[in-house]
């Protein structure tokens, strides 16, 4: 059995931690704060996690893994155009934001507090992800599907434009997740101007 009672409880701690880290930052969240939200004393949590660092590490690792596997999936899916690939990747991104808001927020903002072996690993993983995404854009430009923008500019514009979703999206807002997705894709691929 992989989902023992212990791993479930641990995941609960990680989820609560992600919410708090998002709200108050990694440094601004104390183990006693977290314990309060979890419903335990601070000391008791050490039955489930090794350290505060490890909490951050597990959250960042999980999200990085999802990002990378999503890119791999898109890369090896034979699709008509590069525009279709980029669009699909944008949509996966947005869905991840909606479904895993707090954890993604932590991976986006608090990764810099990772302790040293993991910090380098995370930065490297992110870099290789960005390079893979940039390659898709380059190929699209070379194929004449995209405007001749500098690939890095297009890449970071997309990545950043998608990031605010995690800050903004609340289930039950006037805008559905689907409409949101369509509008962002339209904006990024076709632009605001008519």
Which residues contact DNA by CB under 7 A?
5-6, 9, 29-33, 40-44, 46-48, 51-53
Distance (Å, rounded) from C-alpha 113 to C-alpha 116?
9
157 binds, among a copy of itself, DNA, none (CB under 5 to 8 A by kind): a copy of itself
Q: What angle do CA 64, 66, 68 make, to 5 degrees?
A: 70
Binding partner of 175, given DNA, a copy of itself, none, CB within 5-8 angstroms per partner class: a copy of itself
- Cα gap 48→176, rounded to integer Å: 37
Query: Could you say whether residue 137 binds a copy of itself (CB under 8 A)?
Result: yes
Q: Whose CA is closest to 55, among 101, 3, 11?
A: 11
Q: Which is nearer to DNA, 53 or 138 (CB)?
A: 53
The secondary structure of residue 39, as a DSSP letter, is T
Q: Which residue has the tokens 């008791």?
A: 44
Binding site residues, a copy of itself, CB under 8 A: 23-28, 83, 86, 109, 112-113, 137, 140, 144-147, 149-150, 152-154, 156-164, 168, 175, 179-180, 183-184, 186-194
């Amino acid at each position: 059995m992989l989902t023992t009672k212990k791993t479930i409880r641990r995941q609960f701690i990680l989820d609560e931690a992600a919410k708090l880290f998002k709200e108050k930052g990694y440094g601004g969240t104390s183990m006693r704060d977290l314990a309060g939200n979890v419903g335990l004393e601070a000391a008791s949590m050490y039955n489930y996690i090794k350290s505060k660092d490890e909490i951050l590490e597990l959250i960042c690792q999980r999200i990085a893994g999802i990002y990378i596997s999503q890119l791999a999936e898109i890369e090896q899916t034979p699709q008509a155009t590069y525009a279709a690939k980029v669009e699909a990747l944008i949509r996966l991104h947005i869905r991840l934001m909606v479904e895993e808001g707090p954890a993604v927020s932590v991976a986006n903002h608090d990764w810099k507090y990772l302790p040293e072996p993991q910090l380098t690993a995370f930065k490297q993983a992110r870099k290789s992800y960005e390079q893979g995404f940039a390659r898709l854009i380059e190929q699209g430009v070379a194929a004449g599907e995209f405007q001749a923008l500098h690939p890095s500019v297009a890449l970071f514009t997309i990545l950043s434009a998608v990031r605010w979703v995690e800050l903004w999206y609340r289930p039950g807002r006037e805008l559905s997740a689907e409409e949101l997705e369509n509008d962002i894709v339209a904006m990024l691929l076709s632009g605001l101007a008519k």
